[in-house]
Amino acid sequence: MCGIFAYKGHRNNAPEIVIKGLKMLEYRGYDSWGIAFKTDHALNIHKQVGKIGDFKISDLKKMTAKSQLAIGHSRWATHGGVTQMNAHPHCTEKNEIAIVHNGIIENFTELKKILIKNGHIFKSETDTEVVAHLIEENLKKGLEKAIKMAIKKLEGRYAILVISEKEDVIIAARRGSPLIVGVGKDENFIASDIPAFLEYTKKVQYLDDNEMVIIDKKPKFIDLKTDKIIKKREVPIEWNVENAEKGVYPHFMIKEIMEQKDTICRTINQNGGGIEKVVESIKKAYGTYLVGCGTAGKVCLAASYLFSKIAKKHINTTFGSEFPSYHHFLTNRSLLIAVSQSGETADTLEAMEVAKEKGCKLISIVNVESSTMARMSDIIIPLKVGPEKAVASTKATTAQLAILTLIAYALAGDLDRGKQLLINTAGQINDMLNPRYEDHIKTLAKKIAGVESMYVIGKAVNYPMALEAAIKLQEVSYIHAEGFAGGELKHGPIALISKGTPCIAIVANDETKNDILGNTIEIKARGGYIIGVSPENNEIFDYWIKVPDVGDASPIVNIIPIQILAYHLAIMRQNNPDMPRNLAKSVTVK
């Protein structure tokens, strides 16, 4: 949540660099934005409501002179409404410093009361402005010292960037929210995520929790607990600019859906024995917990069925936000496997922190290899799908499913068979994702674009896929959608069905087929419009979307047409599928 980015270097167009970089981070927050930049020791601020993507760089020329130092922020509101005042950067009355922040200062109300008593005047409703005033209190001691003193008073999670009128540096600090330094030649960058500076450098240094970095000619890292300077390794990045751009596609969401032609193969091509290490850890553990949020949480639930069926192994699954309530069962022999695209989801990170405190082993199945989750883990299984920028997770979801299928097979002593199944599945996805297939789904989208509600049912491993399908439909089409286990319908939800209600039935060609078809007949009898997602047609279906028959990999192929449907429903309902309302890509607040 919230994208932050800063530049200091030899180029004279720092504001432009920061605005361009922020556009690359817009998926993190897009209700308002702002920048602060330095010209001849003066701080200039520009902030406005709306998407930074809509701002034309050419308009910038009107408001900026030459500048070699700038910070910026694209906001996802937490404290205070979406207004220009609440947009970042924030300053104090004297305008001596400017600050941008990602995270939540939990004790901001108490701090604000004290600051107001001390005579500070607040302009915004944000928690961030409190940090600006705290820094100002000790600014006479120098910016570095003042920030250190302010940070000591903060509770909660933060990544902050600060610049001052008097000093030609950017100072950043983090606890719980991501910040990565991009190291260039006579120039440096700092951002919440790598795509912001990918155009300029592929060398990064990671800022960890309770650390500060002073961005000058060379970044200087400081451990905030010991106040000692830390040496950091420069790490090369494999991603390239094209990965992080839309290319020929109108939106990232459809680009990322189509990339699933290749991603599964990349994902399962894991070297280094990671899968085997995970299997060993599961075998040794007294209790394995699979934890994720949102879509990743649904993937965890699907994996529990895969582990049960393929490996005859019980695995516990829960959402990140719920996991801490199970801490009573954890011991130093428990294993937590975190599943995530971003590796920065606050609820999943909290689950990992709780597990770490109990001495549990930590594994992460994660896309962003530079993320906090990856760096906290004993073993990392990377998804290798490249940057996923649309808020709606697509290629990361199927990659997570592929990895967990592979682990289930490996646990059953049959890794090669698992690999073969997934290679075959990847080939089938390649055939499936052709323009005719997309058109067929578009035709369905046209038919149902005006509905108020729709439902999705599935059974066994495809029950979590019904839940995931509902998330996809909700987040980009804004149609009220819910997923159910087919067998649960008759216990209540069937009352929701009336004439013409679209209901997607995920019908796998396995032992669950007859049951789920039975549930579909019950819906049809109440007037429901049945959309079958299945390898075979059936007379009960009003609309059939064919998927390949890939056995245990069925969740992977079943979710893809529903991703496409959600995308086209969003377009037809004139929603921006890449930036759905109220959401952000990376949920770094609890």
Catalytically active residues are: 2, 585
- Position among 67, 126, 192, 393 found at the interface with ligand M6R (CB under 6 A): 393
Please tell me the distance from the alpha carbon of residue 433 to that of residue 501, in angstroms, as a whole number.
Answer: 27
- Position among 86, 102, 124, 348 found at the interface with ligand M6R (CB under 6 A): 348
3-state secondary structure at position 198: coil
Site string for ligand M6R, 454-473 (x = CB under 6 A): -----------------x--
Q: Which helix (H) or strand (E) holds 261?
A: helix 260-268
* Structure tokens, 98: 């400017």
3-state secondary structure at position 335: strand
* Structure tokens, 564: 């496409």
- Position among 341, 474, 554, 588 found at the interface with ligand M6R (CB under 6 A): 341
Please tell me the distance from the alpha carbon of residue 126 to that of residue 390, in angstroms, as a whole number.
Answer: 27
- Position among 293, 335, 429, 460 found at the interface with ligand M6R (CB under 6 A): 293
Q: Does 380 bind ligand M6R (CB under 6 A)?
A: no
* Structure tokens, 391: 């808020």
- Position among 342, 428, 462, 554 found at the interface with ligand M6R (CB under 6 A): 342
CA distances from 15 to 9, 89, 372 (A): 12, 13, 28
Q: Does 391 bind ligand M6R (CB under 6 A)?
A: yes
CB of 569 to ligand M6R, least distance (A): 14
CB of 137 to ligand M6R, least distance (A): 36
Q: Which helix (H) or strand (E) holds 290?
A: strand 288-292
Q: Does 295 bind ligand M6R (CB under 6 A)?
A: yes
Q: Which window, 114-122, 188-196, 391-399, 494-502, contacts ligand M6R (CB under 6 A)?
A: 391-399
Among candidate residues 364, 382, 380, 379, the one with its CA nearest the CA of residue 267: 382
3-state secondary structure at position 303: helix
Q: Does 392 bind ligand M6R (CB under 6 A)?
A: yes
Helix locations, 485-586, DSSP H: 513-525, 554-572
Q: Does 554 bind ligand M6R (CB under 6 A)?
A: no
Q: Does 534 bind ligand M6R (CB under 6 A)?
A: no
HSE, side-chain direction, 13 A CA sphere, residue 388: 30
Site string for ligand M6R, 475-494 (x = CB under 6 A): x-------------------
Q: Which is nearer to ligand M6R, 309 or 573 (CB)?
A: 573
Q: Which window, 103-111, 329-337, 386-394, 401-409, contacts ligand M6R (CB under 6 A)?
A: 386-394
CB 391 within 8 A of CB 251: no
Q: Does 425 bind ligand M6R (CB under 6 A)?
A: no
Please tell me the distance from the alpha carbon of residue 316 to that of residue 349, in angstroms, as a whole number.
Answer: 17
Place of tokens 């605005």: 19
Q: Which window, 85-93, 212-220, 263-271, 340-348, contacts ligand M6R (CB under 6 A)?
A: 340-348
Residue ranges in contact with ligand M6R by CB under 6 A: 293-296, 340-342, 345, 348, 391-393, 471, 475, 586-587
